[in-house]
């Protein structure tokens, strides 16, 4: 037996079998390199990293629309029914329930902590029997499409760190937002639009401000920063050509600028130079795509009726919900809405209905619209704020005139579509709504689960910065199977 015969028999592989398998392997490698150009470049160190630009495993959601209710809506006037608070209204919060937990400076010096029940009526809705306030009749109508979390919790007790934590996974600044991480991990589905867009609206109640660090790219490339759409004449500032400049001359200018930037990159090697070139090119492509997308006047009458007449008024929450659907439908990975005005430390009875009226109809319409278009299964919709509200009154309280302070121990958030369990109530608080008794959902866990739904392993999507590897969930977070269909 010669050497070739020995190896063919030993491995049970002949030449024809070997060449057939080899051809298939080379084809797979070639396809992978076309789909993900950086697939085989190597990580540069010994840390296991999965390739960017594609989901790491089969995703349940392709896109996210996050309806963030800035200022923290009260769970007791929305989705957390606690009849004991009405029964014990005016009585002191038991020390055995409070257990000396941290308070804000606004109520820490109060002599008493009188319990306050909700002024508004609650009823059960849908086959799930989900409890909801009379302030949200439209959301109540889609109860069986929702996954209601009753046990969100955070360590932050004031707005700025809590808001930053909810959006970036850290209480301090200079961290990439969740939208930036999704952009970094998955890229864009539409080369003519950004992967991460931001829409702003303001309600009639007391508002906490929003600021650019909430949609910042942090230490990631600036191509992953959220692009803000304004309600003015120009949806994106500085996108249009300067006066007396046509598209052809603009194209020539960009080509020349790119050549100069590439020369600078060869000299300095700063990756941000390449990122700026990509941003210029994106802006050029957006000049055609954005005006058509932001024109809501062509929406059919039944859509306008569903969202309400305010959807045709730029800058309203309703208009932003409709625009969010259009952006998501066009392939934007992460659309972030901020609606300000939920900070009811007083006059809950007067202000809460105004905020609910701003958001109830359009939120339900967005979910219904996506469902009718067959897009809800692949679009994850999130609704919620940065923390909850206390079960006791702030300052002087009466049955029809009261306010509530910040409460980070337990609050409500709901999700719909994108692979979550519909018609589900997750978690339970005690009869006072103060402490969690079952299935807590920390912000890190929430982020890990959202990333999982998008096909991303939150522990492996990392970025090396200042000598260590960062991720959205930092050193914590676990996926919660109970939220996933």
Q: Could you report the average pLDDT of every consecutive run of 10 residues in the chain (485 residues)?
A: 50 58 57 51 48 78 97 98 97 95 92 96 97 98 98 97 97 93 92 91 83 94 88 62 65 66 70 63 60 84 97 95 96 96 95 96 98 98 98 93 97 98 98 98 98 96 93 96 97
Tokens coding 54: 């594609």
pLDDT of residue 293: 78
- For 97, the enclosing helix (H) or strand (E) is helix 95-98
Closest CA to 91 of 350, 397, 410, 430: 397
Distance, first Cα to last Cα, the chain: 59
CB proximity list for 236: less than 8 A, separation 6 or greater: 227, 228, 229, 230, 286, 290
Closest CA to 479 of 455, 453, 437, 449: 449
Query: Rounded distance, CA 74 to CA 59, Å?
Result: 32
Query: Contact 471/441 with Cβ under 8 angstroms?
Result: no
Tokens coding 348: 């809950």
Query: Rounded distance, CA 449 to CA 472, Å?
Result: 11
Query: Contact 151/426 with Cβ under 8 angstroms?
Result: yes
Query: Rounded distance, CA 291 to CA 336, Å?
Result: 19
Neighbours of 416 (CB within 10 A): 26
DSSP code per residue over 445-482:
HHHHHHHHHTT--TTT--EEETTEEE-TTTT-----GG
CB proximity list for 91: less than 8 A, separation 6 or greater: 114, 115
Query: Rounded distance, CA 387 to CA 343, Å?
Result: 11
- For 199, the enclosing helix (H) or strand (E) is strand 196-202
Right CATH for 61-481 from 3.40.630, 3.40.720, 3.40.50, 1.10.600: 3.40.720
Tell me the C-alpha to C-alpha distance, in Å, between residue 140 and each of 64, 79, 133, 360, 363: 22, 10, 8, 9, 11
- For 150, the enclosing helix (H) or strand (E) is strand 146-153
Query: Rounded distance, CA 378 to CA 370, Å?
Result: 9
Tell me the C-alpha to C-alpha distance, in Å, between residue 60 and each of 377, 424, 451: 8, 17, 10
Query: Contact 163/203 with Cβ under 8 angstroms?
Result: no
**Domain residue ranges in the chain:** 61-481
pLDDT of residue 269: 66
Query: Rounded distance, CA 324 to CA 307, Å?
Result: 12
């Amino acid at each position: 037996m010669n050497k070739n015969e020995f190896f063919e028999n030993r491995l049970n592989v002949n030449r024809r079998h070997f060449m057939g398998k080899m051809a298939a392997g080379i084809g797979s490698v070639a396809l992978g390199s076309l789909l993900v150009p950086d697939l085989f470049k190597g990580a540069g160190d010994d840390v296991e990293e999965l390739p960017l630009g594609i989901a790491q495993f089969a995703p349940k959601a392709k896109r996210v629309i996050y309806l963030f209710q800035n200022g923290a809506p009260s769970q007791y006037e929305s989705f957390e029914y606690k009849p004991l608070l009405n029964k014990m209204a005016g009585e002191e919060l038991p020390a055995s329930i409070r257990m000396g937990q941290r308070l804000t400076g606004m109520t820490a010096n109060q002599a008493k902590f009188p319990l306050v029940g909700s002024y508004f009526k609650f009823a059960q809705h849908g086959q799930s029997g989900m409890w909801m306030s009379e302030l949200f009749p439209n959301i109540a109508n889609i109860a069986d499409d929702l996954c209601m979390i009753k046990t969100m919790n955070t360590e932050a007790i004031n707005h700025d760190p809590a808001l930053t934590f909810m959006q970036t996974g850290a209480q301090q600044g200079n961290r990439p937002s969740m939208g930036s991480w999704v952009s970094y991990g998955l890229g864009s589905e539409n080369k003519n639009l950004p992967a991460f867009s931001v829409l702003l609206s303001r309600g009639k109640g007391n508002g906490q401000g929003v600021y650019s660090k909430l949609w910042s790219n942090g230490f990631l490339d600036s191509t992953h920063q959220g692009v803000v759409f304004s309600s003015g004449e120009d949806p994106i500032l500085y996108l249009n050509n300067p006066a007396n400049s046509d598209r052809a001359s603009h194209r020539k200018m960009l080509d020349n600028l790119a050549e100069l930037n590439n020369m600078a990159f060869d000299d300095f090697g700063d990756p941000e130079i390449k990122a700026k070139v990509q941003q210029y090119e994106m802006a050029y492509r957006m000049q055609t795509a954005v005006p058509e997308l932001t024109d809501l006047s062509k929406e059919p009458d039944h859509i306008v009726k569903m969202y309400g007449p305010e959807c045709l008024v730029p800058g309203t929450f309703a208009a932003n919900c409709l625009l969010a659907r259009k952006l998501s439908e066009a392939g934007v990975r992460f659309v972030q809405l901020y609606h300000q005005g939920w900070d009811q430390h007083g006059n809950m009875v007067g202000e809460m209905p105004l905020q609910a009226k701003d958001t109830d109809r359009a939120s339900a319409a967005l979910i219904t619209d996506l469902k009718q278009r067959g897009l809800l299964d692949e679009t994850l919709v999130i609704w919620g704020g940065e923390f909850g509200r206390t079960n006791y009154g702030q300052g002087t309280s009466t049955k029809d005139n009261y306010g509530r302070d910040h409460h980070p121990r337990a609050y409500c958030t709901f999700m719909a579509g994108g692979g979550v369990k519909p018609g589900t109530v997750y978690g339970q608080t005690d009869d006072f709504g103060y402490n969690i008794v079952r299935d807590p959902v920390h912000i890190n866990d929430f982020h890990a689960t959202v990333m999982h739904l998008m096909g991303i392993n939150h522990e492996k999507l990392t970025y090396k910065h200042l000598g260590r590897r960062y991720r959205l969930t930092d050193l914590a977070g676990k996926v919660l199977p109970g939220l996933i269909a």
